[in-house]
Chain A
Amino acid sequence: MPHGAWLEPVTISDPSAKGAKENQRQLTLAIEQYITDAGYFTRANVLPGEPADDEYVLTFDFDRYELVRNPFFGWMVRDVSRFSASLSVADSSGKQLLHLTGQVEQSEDTNQYAPAYTFPTSATARTRLIRSLLEQAVYGLNHPDHPTPP
Chain B
Amino acid sequence: MHAWRFVATLAALVSLGCAAFRQPTAPPTSPWPPAAAASKKSIRVSLAANVAIADSAPVDAPPAMVSRWRTWTEATYRDSALFSAVVAEDMPSDVRSEIRVVDSGDFRRWMAIVCGVTLFLFPAKATDHFTLHTEFKNAKGEVLATIEKSESVDSWIGLFLIVVTPFRWPGREVGDLVTELNRATLAEAHAQGIF
Residues of A within 8 A of B (CB): 4, 6, 9, 18-19, 21-23, 25-26, 28-30, 32-33, 43, 45-46, 48-52, 115-116, 118-119, 121, 123
- Residues from chain A with a CB closer than 8 A to the CB of B46 are 25, 28-29, 46
20 residue pairs of the A-B complex, CB under 8 angstroms, read A9-B90, A22-B63, A22-B64, A22-B67, A25-B46, A25-B47, A25-B70, A25-B89, A26-B48, A29-B46, A29-B47, A32-B98, A45-B137, A49-B139, A52-B140, A115-B56, A115-B59, A116-B59, A119-B62, A121-B60
Contact in complex: B53, A43 (CB < 8 Å): no
Known: A9-B89, A26-B49, A26-B66. A46 touches B96 (CB 8 A): yes
Contact residues in B for A9 (Cβ distance below 8 Å): 89-90
| B56, B59, B64: residue with the most chain A Cβ atoms closer than 10 Å | B59
Contact between B141 and A45 (Cβ–Cβ < 8 Å)? Answer: yes
B61 interface residue per 8 A CB criterion: yes
| CB proximity of A21 to chain B, nearest CB, Å | 8
Q: Which of A19, A48, A118 has the most CB of B within 10 A?
A: A48
Contact of A123 with B59 at beta-carbon distance under 8 Å, contacts A46-B46, A48-B90, A115-B52 already known: yes
Provide the bound-state CA to CA distance between A70 and B61, in Å: 20
A25 to B89, CA, bound (A): 9
Task: Report the Cα distance A119→B100, complex, angstroms.
Answer: 18
B92 within 8 A of A: yes
Contact A115/B53 with A25-B47, A49-B92 known, Cβ cut-off 8 Å: yes
Partner of B63, one of A23, A45, A123: A23
CB distance from B45 to the nearest CB of A (A): 11
Most chain B CB within 10 A, of A22, A30, A49, A52, is at: A22
- Size category, B interface: 20 to 34
Question: A4: which B residues are within 8 A, CB to CB?
Answer: 141
Question: Taking the nearest CB of chain A, how far is it from the CB of B98, in angstroms?
Answer: 6
User: Which chain B positions have C-beta within 8 A of A51?
Assistant: 141
CA distance A4 to B142 in the complex (A): 11
Main secondary structure of the interface of B (DSSP, over half): mixed
Contact at B59–A49, with CB atoms within 8 Å? Answer: no
CB distance from A11 to the nearest CB of B (A): 11
- B44 nearest CB neighbor, chain A only: A48
Q: Does B86 contact A (CB under 8 A)?
A: no
Residues of B within 8 A of A121 (CB): 59-60
A25 to B54, CA, bound (A): 26
Q: How far is the CB of B46 from chain A (nearest CB, A)?
A: 6
Closest residue of chain B to A32 (Cβ to Cβ) is B98
User: Which single member of A23, A30, A50 contacts B140 (CB below 8 Å)?
Assistant: A50
* B141 contacts A22, C-beta separation under 8 Å: no
**With an 8 A cutoff between CB atoms, is B20 at the interface?**
no
Q: Which residues of B contact A50 (CB under 8 A)?
A: 139-141
Q: Answer whether residue B91 sits at the interface, using C-beta atoms and an 8 A cutoff.
A: yes
B66 touches A22 (CB 8 A): yes
B51 part of interface (Cβ distance < 8 Å) = yes
Select which of A6, A26, A119 is within 8 A of B53 by beta carbon: A119
How far does the alpha carbon of A50 sit from the alpha carbon of B66 in the complex, in Å?
A: 28
Cα distance A9–B46 in the bound complex, in angstroms: 11
Contacting residues, chain B, for A21 (C-beta < 8 A):
63
